[in-house]
Structure 1
Amino acid sequence: MEIISVSDLKIGMFVAEPDCPWTAFPFIFQGFVVTSPEQIALFRQKCRFVSIDRSRSLNEHYAAPRHERDLPLHAAPITGQRIEESSGKGELFSANEKERRNLRRRRFLDFLHSQDDNEQACQLSRELADVEPRYDQLTTALQHAFETLSEGRDVDLLTVREGLRDISASLQRNPDAVMWLLRLKQRDEYSFDHAMDVAVNMLLVGTHIGWRDMRLLDLGMTGLLQDIGKIELPLELLRKKTDLTEAERRLVHSHVASSMEILMAHSTLSNDVVLAVARHHERWDGSGYPRGLKFEQIGMAAEIAGIADSFCAMQKDKPYRSALGHQEALEELHNLRGKKFNPTLMEQFVQCVGLYPIGTLVELSNGEVGVVILQNRVQRSRPRVVVMLDADKQQVSSYRVIDLREPAHAGLRVAKALPYNAYGLAANDYYLG
């Protein structure tokens, strides 16, 4: 932390603590990035000094928490033959294809671990090694919970909560590791993958705004369980491609009540989780359901759940729309601030998830396509990218890493973020066969 005079406070600095109580301010959050002259004026009215966190500040006000060597990552060639796509019919993926996909994912994880000449990459590798078995334990426990609940049987959610505790701790140390595992260990099951996506994004936001301990764990549990009531809806209704009738829409909305009924039977869940699940489809302008609540009536946990749920859903193929890229989804969601979503919370969400987070598929200005493997903490728009397709959109034969911050790549930039399935890459999980 660094203590500065309020006269030196600038837009882009992260204020961790003022020298007077936070209650003296009308701000919702205790700790945030300054984004307007009005916020600076308020600090200058109320106090003389503030503590700022350079590691959470933006642009020229950012400073790394520890020294980083700015060295390029080594590219690692792929060994072995290219894996042919499954020709099996009648199911999405054959057993052999799932095994082969897991091998490709494992190979890419091993590649990430092999990056050892850059401090940020070393930190990521160490965190991946620590959290991967814990992540696997959580997904196994969650899968068991989903299956048990779908059979109408009681389930102990304590194992799931303990798994979330490990994930939450990892996100606070190095959020990139869990985000990589989220990309690399998808199970090709929409409801399960979506629950994990939402929970991790909610934990990210909660950590960003300063939530800790039980409050943060409850936020993660809300993300995992908010749509559990959909297990009681007909599968054909969830897959319907045409507009829903009014009766069908009411039936879909009923999943909130079903979720409540399921969750209230579990004494190990806090009331805060149940309440957030009940309200995560409510919207800032009162247009949500089931009660049409608005503004502060909704509650911050439910508001975070609504934003994360919408954001993650936009990036997945749905029966009625194709997946959006990370940037497109963020822009669409940001345009709804002050309407569907709390504008202040939306600004924090945008700051938290960033432009090109790790695992984002991007197209470069030279036409090549790759996946972001490390964020640039100083220049967020210039990440490190592993090239997957050449300029003609043909798959490359080995890993080639481009660090957009290096002088050699000064003329290259990210042209746009892409949906996860752009150019057919979803079939190969991006990670080269």
Structure 2
Amino acid sequence: MRSTDSDGASAGAGQNGSASRHHQIQVPVDALTLGMHVEELDRPWTDVPVLFQRFVIRTEEQLSTLRHYCVWVWVDANASECDADWGAMAMKRGAVRTVHPLPEQHPLSEELPRARKAYRKTRNYVDSLLADIRNQQTIELEEARPVIEACATSIQANANAMFWLGRVRSEDAYTAEHCVRVAILAIGFGSSLGLNDADLTTLGLCGLLHDIGKLRVPDAILNKPGRLTPEEMAEMKRHTEYGYALLTKQGDFDPIVQDTTLSHHERMDGRGYPGGKPGSCISRFTRIVTIVDAFDAMTSDRTYQKGVSTADALRILFKNRGDQFDAELVEHFIRMIGIYPPGSLVALNTGEVALVLANNPRYKLAPKVEVVLGPDRQPCRRRVLDLATHPESGDGTPYAITEPLPDGAYGFSLQAHIEQQGTAAG
């Protein structure tokens, strides 16, 4: 909580020192809502196309303008019914606790072809962008927004299609694939939080571009198999500042995306880097990307280490909630992703092998699955089981998952399965 006096009031506070009567709190633009009283901006009022200095947010257009031009604003806490901890304020509105099932407007088999096209285009764009950064060429960010919008459109139709594609991985292309996966997971996470289309696009951009500064870090450090020296670790940590510098050279590119690139290794307890920001100064978009970034990094195979299982990664997130990660968002992420993510393989108590199609946020241990291998672990007639409805096998035993299986278990290829689905849909 802060208050201003007539000597410290900004231009937005007026000329009569009236700001001294108002308690102001700093709120990230991604947490603003209609009805809030904006008192100050994080930049001169003349840099932002608004009609008045100090105003009440009345329209979605005003929200969009603030989110495009600013990272933070100060609002009148008394008039806006705000809490000094804007994260707690969001909780009171139910913005985090509400669980929205991931969209399934189109059948998975129908959405996969469009998702593959959007995924491929996004991957090609990232490959080109990273090559330009590596070669110290001028980077072009104009194409970033349309490729992310295409991903968001597909995710809004059936998020599981994109989640499936993210399960097909290559160790040799970790940085590019990681950027695309973080964007996809962030959009899916934002959708489950109920964010609108504009915010989903911005959040996707935050995920897509969060690690671009790593291309300024020497490969010998990025891919070193052993423990980094203190000097090497210091250089690795500079990737946040390198990425921020790259984006700030792009003129009016979204400040909230720039801020997430700089701040995605900050921690809720203030022990992160590069600035050691306390949790109250970390935006919601950054909090989301921080969780998704850590999850994808932990579950990915690298040239120097194997990834951990989904269950282990979720346990680590949960253990570090409140200290490293936003506690409420971690719990929501666990509900969204489930113990068995879409696209993963599981063993059933019948001896069969099934592919996870979709999760149910209310029943994390009972996803919707497709049986793909019989008890003999050979291809069989495929059938879909919604385990949340307690289906029974032929002898009356309720189907249940006994264990997760690694990708590629028993020779099952998710990539080949996706291609077959696309062919069947065509």
Counterparts of residues 309-324 of structure 1 (less than 5 Å): 309-319=293-303, 321-324=305-308
Aligned partner of 1:125 in structure 2 is: 109
Q: Conserved in 2, the CA contact under 8 Å of 1:325 and 1:418?
A: no
Q: Distance in 2 between matches of 1:130 and 1:337?
A: 36
Q: Which amino acid aligns with 2:118?
A: R
Give yes or no for contact 2:373–2:380 (8 Å, CA) kept in 1: no
Inter-partner Cα distance in structure 2 for 1:424 and 1:400: 16
2:345 counterpart of 1:361: yes
- Contact 1:175–1:204 (Cα < 8 Å) also in 2: yes
Q: Give the match for residue 399 of structure 2.
A: 412
SS of the aligned residue for 1:416 comes to: strand
Aligned equivalent of 1:396: 378
| Structure 2 equivalent of residue 145 of structure 1 | 129
- Inter-CA distance 369–324: structure 2 relative to 1 (3 Å threshold): farther
SS of the residue corresponding to residue 385 of structure 1 reads strand
- Code of the residue aligned with 1:197 in structure 2: it is R
In the other structure, the counterpart of 2:271 is 287
Contact 2:225 2:303 in 1 (8 A): yes
Aligned to 1:83: none
Q: In the alignment, which residue of structure 2 is the partner of 1:135?
A: 119
Instruction: Determine if the alignment matches structure 1 residue 255 to structure 2 residue 229.
Output: no
**One-letter amino acid matched to 1:411:** P
Work out the CA distance in 1 between the residues paired with 2:172 and 2:304: 18
Q: Deviations over 1:111-170 (max 9, x none)?
A: xxxxxxxxx796223333444333332222222222222211113222221111121122
CA contact (8 A) 2:335 2:361 kept: no
- Is residue 172–residue 303 contact of structure 2 (8 Å, CA) maintained in 1? no
Pick closer, same or farther for the CA change 1:415–1:140 going to 2, 3 Å: same
CA contact (8 A) 2:178 2:296 kept: yes
* Residue 324 (structure 1) shift: 1.6
Deviation at 1:282, TM superposition (A): 0.6
Within the candidate set 217, 221, 244, 1:233 is matched to: 217
Letter in 1 for 2:295: F
Determine if contact 2:106/2:157 at 8 Å carries over to the other structure. no
- Contact preservation (8 Å) 1:324, 1:418: no
Question: Greater CA deviation, 126-135 or 327-336?
Answer: 126-135
Are the structure 2 counterparts of residues 339 and 366 from structure 1 closer, same or farther at C-alpha, using a change threshold of 3 Å? farther
Which secondary structure does the structure 2 equivalent of 1:158 belong to? coil
Structure 1 CA distance, aligned partners of 2:163 and 2:282? 28
- CA-CA distance at 1:182 after TM superposition: 2.6
SS in 2 for 1:256: helix
Secondary structure of 1:411 counterpart: coil
Cα deviations by residue, 1:26-70 (Å, 9 ceiling, x for unpaired): 542444575xxxxxxxxxxxxxxxxxx9x948xxxxxx99xxxxx
Correspondent of 2:90 among 10, 15, 28: 28
Structure 1 stretch 350-359 or stretch 279-288: which is displaced more? 350-359
The answer for unaligned runs of 5 or more in structure 2 is: 1-78, 421-426
Rounded to whole Å, the distance in 2 between the matches of 1:247 and 1:211 is 40
- Answer yes or no: is the 8 Å Cα contact 1:323–1:419 preserved in 2: no
1:204 matched residue in structure 2: 188
Deviation at 1:326, TM superposition (A): 1.7
Partner of 2:162: 178
**Any conservation in 1 of the 2:90–2:96 contact (CA below 8 Å)?**
no
SS at match of 2:403: strand
Q: Which residue identity is paired with 1:413?
A: A
Amino acid at match of 2:218: P
Aligned pair in 2 of structure 1 residues 322, 411: CA closer, same or farther (>3 Å)? same
Moved more, 224-233 or 423-432: 423-432
Q: Residues 242 and 389 of structure 1: is their aligned pair in 2 closer, same or farther, counting only changes over 3 Å?
A: farther
In structure 2, relative to structure 1, the CA distance for the partners of 1:412 and 1:307 (3 Å cut) is same
The Cα shift of 1:378 comes to 7.0
Q: Give the deviation of 1:334 after TM superposition.
A: 1.1
CA 315–377 in structure 1, closer or farther in 2 if over 3 Å, else same = closer
- Unpaired segments of 5 or more residues in structure 1? 1-20, 35-52, 58-63, 66-119
Aligned residues: 332
Range moving further from structure 2, 308-317 or 294-303 = 294-303
Distance 1:137 1:429, change over 3 A: closer
Secondary structure of the structure 1 residue equivalent to 2:107: helix
Summarize the Cα distance change of 1:424–1:412 in structure 2 as closer, same or farther, 3 Å threshold: closer
* Matched residue, 2:44: none
Q: CA deviation at 1:348?
A: 2.0
Q: State the distance in 2 between where 1:378 and 1:281 align.
A: 30
- Residue 390 of structure 1 deviates from its aligned partner by 6.2
- SS for the counterpart of 1:240 is coil
Residues of 2 paired with 1:366 and 1:353: CA distance?
A: 25
Cα drift, residue 367 of structure 1? 5.1
Secondary structure at the counterpart of residue 327 of structure 1: helix
Of 173, 176, 180 in structure 2, the residue corresponding to residue 192 of structure 1 is: 176
Q: Secondary structure at the match of 2:175?
A: helix
Rounded to whole Å, the distance in 1 between the matches of 2:110 and 2:353 is: 27
- Over the residues paired in the alignment, what is the CA RMSD in angstroms? 3.4
